[in-house]
Amino acid sequence: MAEVLVYVDHVDGAVRKPTLELLTLARRIGDPVAVHLGPNAEEAAKVLGEHGATRVLSADAPEFGDYLVVPKVDALQAAYDAVSPAAVLVPSSAEGKEIAARLAVRIGSGIITDAVDLEAGDEGPVASQSVFAAAFTTKSRITRGTPVITVKPNSAAPEAAPAAGAVEALSVSFGEQATGTKVTSRAPRESTGRPELTEAAIVVSGGRGVNGAENFHVIESLADSLGAAVGASRAAVDAGWYPHSNQVGQTGKSVSPQLYIAAGISGAIQHRAGMQTSKTIVAINKDAEAPIFDLVDYGVVGDLFDVAPQLTEEVKTRKG
Ligand SMILES: Cc1cc2nc3c(=O)[nH]c(=O)nc-3n(C[C@H](O)[C@H](O)[C@H](O)COP(=O)(O)OP(=O)(O)OC[C@H]3O[C@@H](n4cnc5c(N)ncnc54)[C@H](O)[C@@H]3O)c2cc1C
C-alpha cells in the first residue's frame, strides 16, 4: 500500500490532537508515515504508533527551534524524497500552512489548504473544504504532483489503530535559506488551563450581549464546567472585553468543535464564517429574531445572565 506522510505537530514530544486526526484520515489513503522534528521522538512514537503510524521518521537539530519554518521544510522535503509518498498531510495551523505551501512549491505539487474531510479517490485523494462563510462545501483533487493537503483541527475523530510506529532517523541537510530568519526571543503565553480555541471539542463564545469585561466570567464559568475553550465575537473583542486571540470569525479564528455555544451573539455573517461548521450549535440570545437562530440546532430565547449560570450549575450537577 502507498505511504502517506503526516507532519507531526507536538510540544516536546507530546503529540497534539490534530496530528492524531490526520493519522486517522491518512489511513483512508494509505499507510501513514509520521515525520517528527525535534526532541522526544520515542515518546511521540508510542502515541503515533497507537494511531496508525507504521514508521516515524525523526530528526532533531537546533535549527528547528532557532529559525522559522525553513529548516522544517528542509526536513519534510528530505522525508518526501526518502518515502515518495502518495500524499503529504500537514495540520492547518499558520505554521503548518506555511510549511506545506513551501514544500508544494519546491516539489512542484498542487496544494489544498484547510480541508475539513478527506477521502480516497481513483485519481488521488479528494479533499472537502468549507467555503464562502461555510455556505458551500467544495470537493477538490490535486492534479499536479504529489498532493500536499493541510487539514483543519476537528475534521475527524482520532481513532486508535495500532501499528509498529518504528522510529527511523531521518537525515536532513539544511539549505542556505534555512537560517534566513532567526528567532530572537520567546515568551510563553500565560496559560488559562483551557483548551486551545481552534482545537477544542467545545467552545463557548460571548458577544456584545455580555456587556463588559467584568461579566465574561459568566462565559468562562460555563466553559470551565464543560472543559471548553472561550471564544468572543469581534464586537466583544473590539470593546476590549476579551483578547483578540479569542476572536471567532472571518477576521478571527475558525473553529469547528463538536459543540459551539454562542451567548449574546447576533450571528453576523462574519461571525458565522468562523463557526458555522461546528457540529452542534446552541445560541442563547434574548432577541428571538436574532439571525443566529437561523443556524442553531438548539436555541434558548432568554437573558444570558439567567440562562448561562443555570446551565453551568446543571452541567456541574450532572457531572457529579
Ligand atoms: C470586514 C469585517 C470583518 C469582521 N470579522 C468579524 C469576525 O471575525 N468575528 C465577528 O464576530 N465579527 C466580525 N465582524 C463584525 C460583525 O459584522 C458583527 O458586527 C459582530 O459579529 C457583532 O458581534 P455581536 O454578535 O457580539 O454583537 P451584536 O451584533 O451587537 O449582537 C449582540 C447580541 O446580543 C444579544 N443580547 C444582548 N444582551 C443580551 C443578554 N443579556 N442575553 C442574551 N442576549 C443578549 C442581542 O439580542 C444581540 O443579538 C466583522 C465585520 C467586518 C465588516
Grid cell in block for residue 243: 483578547
Mean pLDDT, the chain, whole residue set: 96
Instruction: Decide: 286 in ligand 1 pocket, CB within 6 A.
Output: yes
Helix or strand or coil: residue 7? strand
Mean pLDDT of 33-62: 98
CA–CA distance, 35 with 26 (Å, rounded to integer): 13
Band of pLDDT at residue 317, cut at 50, 70 and 90? very high
Band of pLDDT at residue 188, cut at 50, 70 and 90? confident
pLDDT of residue 190: 81
24-38, pLDDT tens digit by residue?
999 999 999 999 999
**Mutation probe of ligand 1 site: the residue of 286, 293, 311 with most atoms within 8 A of C-beta:** 286
Calculate the alpha carbon distances from 277 to 38, 162, 166, 194, 261 in Å: 33, 30, 36, 21, 13
The residue assigned the cell 489544498 is: 112
**Mutation probe of ligand 1 site: the residue of 198, 208, 215 with most atoms within 8 A of C-beta:** 208
Nearest to 204 by CA among 255, 159, 135, 277: 255
Q: Contact 28/127 with Cβ under 8 angstroms?
A: no
Ligand 1: nearest atom to the Cα of 249: 8
Sign for the pseudo-dihedral over CA of 32, 33, 38, 41: positive
CA–CA distance, 94 with 196 (Å, rounded to integer): 14
Counting every residue written for the chain, the total comes to: 320
Tell me what percent of the residues of the chain surpass a pLDDT of 90. 94
Residue of minimum CA distance from atom 2 in ligand 1: 270
Distance, CA 232 to ligand 1 centroid (Å)?
Answer: 9
CA 299 to mean position of chain CA atoms: 26
131-149, pLDDT tens digit by residue?
877 778 999 999 999 999 9
The residue assigned the cell 522535503 is: 77
Q: Contact 195/254 with Cβ under 8 angstroms?
A: no
Helical ranges in the chain per DSSP H: 17-26, 41-50, 62-66, 70-83, 94-107, 217-226, 234-238, 269-272, 304-319
